Structure 1
Amino acid sequence: MLLDTSARGAFIIAPTPFLPDGALDLPSTARMTERYLGMGARGLTILGIMGEAPKLDQAEAIQFVRQVLDVVAGAVPVVVGVSAPGFAAMRALTAEVMALGAAGVMIAPPPFLKGDDGVVNYFAQASEAVSPAPWVLQDFPQANGVFMGTGAIQRIAADERCVMLKAEDWPGLDKISALKAAMAAGSMRAIPILGGNSGLFLPEELNRGADGVMTGYAFPELLVELCEKGPTETAWDRFEAHLPLIRTDNQAGLGLAVRKHVLARRGIIAHSTARAPAPKLSDKARAEVDYLLSRIARRDPIAAELA
């Protein structure tokens, strides 16, 4: 199953589970994958920023990808992050994961790029490096400092191997509207736009025409419902119950620790371990997260077991 421009809905970004000693936790990987499929994920994304990809060696990365793909067994597309400082590493990882059965890869620009021409030229070369794999363009200037205007994105999306935009610019709602208008007018090749940022603006993004979300908030059921049913009044009420935790989850640096703590509390992964160097929750921070979980449990049955 190759990724194409028909993709829609909630693509859940999965963390990389580790044992307390920092080794890969493959049983947790299998359980996590099964749970995400059971929650209605339309796709999975692995080895991104949340997946701690730079902390894995090549053999570990392939071992993790293989475990996820074995469990998925073609049920949904699996996208693998392959961003790297150089094209040789990107090319090698792409070849291996596509041979294993990945649906496509995701590429973010390196932090040194300047200007629209520099960005567009980089992605032209990156596209050749991962060819013939379909790929997702990640627009996340908060992480890499590279701003891509709508004109640059339109030029990049003219490459037919680019089959999706992960839109994480902030503020980015008007950008989504502008890109969707360009698609409707025929001045941009139509590709799906999926939001990110822990789902912080997901209802608004859907109202602006986004086709789904690609993020790893620890209650994927919420993301699935919003994408499948739209931001109805009932869905808004449920979303607002989660907003304080989504805000906490979206903190730069600490967000990974928050997310893994919640996933461990839910039994989706066995341990909240992040591989060093990694942020850790202080006792006070952990208590604050647990309090937010107790508040969600009062309003949303999916958190009832955490009350």
Structure 2
Amino acid sequence: MPETTQGLHVVAQTPFHPDGAVDHDSIATLSEFYYRHGARGLTVLGVSGEAQTLAPDEAVAVAASFVAASGGRAIFAGVSSPNLAILADVAAQVMAEGARGVMIAPAASARTDEALLSYFDTVFERIGDVPTVLQDFPAASGVQMSVPAMARLVEAFPQIGVVKEEDLPSARKVAALRCALPRHVRILTGNNGLYLPQELARGADGPMAGFSYPEMLSGVDRLMREEGDVAAAHALFNRYLPLLKHEAQGTLGIALRKESMRRRGALASAAMRAPGGRLDEHDIAELDAIVAHMDLPE
């Protein structure tokens, strides 16, 4: 897994019909949209993919639809759950459907280094040799993983081939992990791409983030890592920054992102499943005003 996991791996939205049912038809158009704009793989069933609103059978079906639309590209599926039986069952099912690996964040109870090791020891006893993305996102998990603790996890569990680094300040932690990890793993970054140029400069292998204009994320990654054109990368990033920042507003930001992607033809509906965000007329007007001043592509 580490050898191939570089570049943009979009955290995919989950499409819903206005009545809240999963829109599997839009998964195909959404996937084509992501790949056309530079995604090398997708991460599904993430926090911004509204995984918390899906029943386990729905989550597996969503992952299967993304795999079917992947054309052989990597699909990683978030399976984090406080219920280890559900975590293990969903992990087994998404892997059977063709996922490349799973993404797991620590349980909220894992508050110490020893508790972290014990938790993941139990997880890997349950799921076996499934390739795993270790998600470091304390804002969502409530768990602060230190660099030494993460190094111990990587050393103890060869299943971990990728770290998704979202602890702030993320660029500094990327650099610390690069020095501390006992073997090479890919480090991808999230936080809606807000700090992407700095994270890439410190050694990240690409973004694992969502944005309604994923071509910016893939373009900045290509310019920084492959072409070494730092000035052009920052110029591209800055062009999209007003909208990127506007989408970084939690549940409201997901609703804004989905609306922008509906307008771009990637989704049939911008609906979120309850209790997700709903845009009012003021939200729409603000989005229109921001986009109008940015001269963005269709």
Distance in structure 2 (CA, Å) of the matches to 1:211 and 1:91: 28
Give how far 1:63 is off: 2.0
1:20-31 matched pairs, under 5 angstroms? 20-31=18-29
1:9-158 matched pairs, under 5 angstroms? 9-74=7-72, 76-158=73-155
Distance in structure 2 (CA, Å) of the matches to 1:132 and 1:257: 36
1:20/1:271 contact within 8 Å kept:
yes
- Given the two structures, how large is their TM-score scaled by the length of structure 1? 0.91
Distance in structure 2 (CA, Å) of the matches to 1:49 and 1:170: 17
Single out whichever of 277-286 and 91-100 deviates more from structure 2: 277-286
Letter in 2 for 1:284: H
Distance in structure 2 (CA, Å) of the matches to 1:252 and 1:260: 13
Count of paired positions: 293
User: Could you say if the C-alpha distance between residues 210 and 105 of structure 1 is closer, same or farther in structure 2, counting changes exceeding 3 Å?
Assistant: same
1:203 aligns with 2:197: yes
Deviations 1:25-69 (A, max 9, x none): 111111001121222211100011112112122332222222111
Identity score, percent: 39
Give how far 1:5 is off: 4.4
**Partner of residue 276 from structure 1, selected from 267, 274, 277:** 274
1:4/1:134 contact within 8 Å kept:
no
* Unmatched runs of 5 consecutive residues or more in structure 1: 298-302
1:283-298 matched pairs, under 5 angstroms? 283-297=281-295
**Partner of residue 225 from structure 1, selected from 219, 226, 240:** 219
Letter in 2 for 1:116: D
- Given the two structures, how large is their TM-score scaled by the length of structure 2? 0.94
**Partner of residue 179 from structure 2, selected from 165, 178, 181:** 181
Letter in 2 for 1:18: F
Give the aligned CA root-mean-square deviation in angstroms.
1.4
Partner-residue secondary structure (3-state), 2:103: strand
Partner-residue secondary structure (3-state), 1:253: helix
Letter in 2 for 1:59: D
Give how far 1:304 is off: 2.9
Deviations 1:244-296 (A, max 9, x none): 21112112332211211111121111111000111222221221122222222
Letter in 2 for 1:215: A
Deviations 1:122-166 (A, max 9, x none): 122222222221000000011122101100110111111000000
Give how far 1:190 is off: 1.2
Distance in structure 2 (CA, Å) of the matches to 1:112 and 1:218: 34
Partner-residue secondary structure (3-state), 1:193: strand
User: In structure 2, what is the equivalent of residue 304 of structure 1?
Assistant: 297
User: In structure 2, what is the equivalent of residue 300 of structure 1?
Assistant: none
Distance in structure 2 (CA, Å) of the matches to 1:292 and 1:89: 42
Letter in 2 for 1:62: V
Distance in structure 2 (CA, Å) of the matches to 1:286 and 1:101: 38
Distance in structure 2 (CA, Å) of the matches to 1:253 and 1:36: 21
2:219/2:236 contact within 8 Å kept:
no
Letter in 1 for 2:190: G
1:12/1:216 contact within 8 Å kept:
yes
Distance in structure 2 (CA, Å) of the matches to 1:247 and 1:92: 36
User: Could you say if the C-alpha distance between residues 15 and 72 of structure 1 is closer, same or farther in structure 2, counting changes exceeding 3 Å?
Assistant: same
User: Could you say if the C-alpha distance between residues 162 and 5 of structure 1 is closer, same or farther in structure 2, counting changes exceeding 3 Å?
Assistant: farther
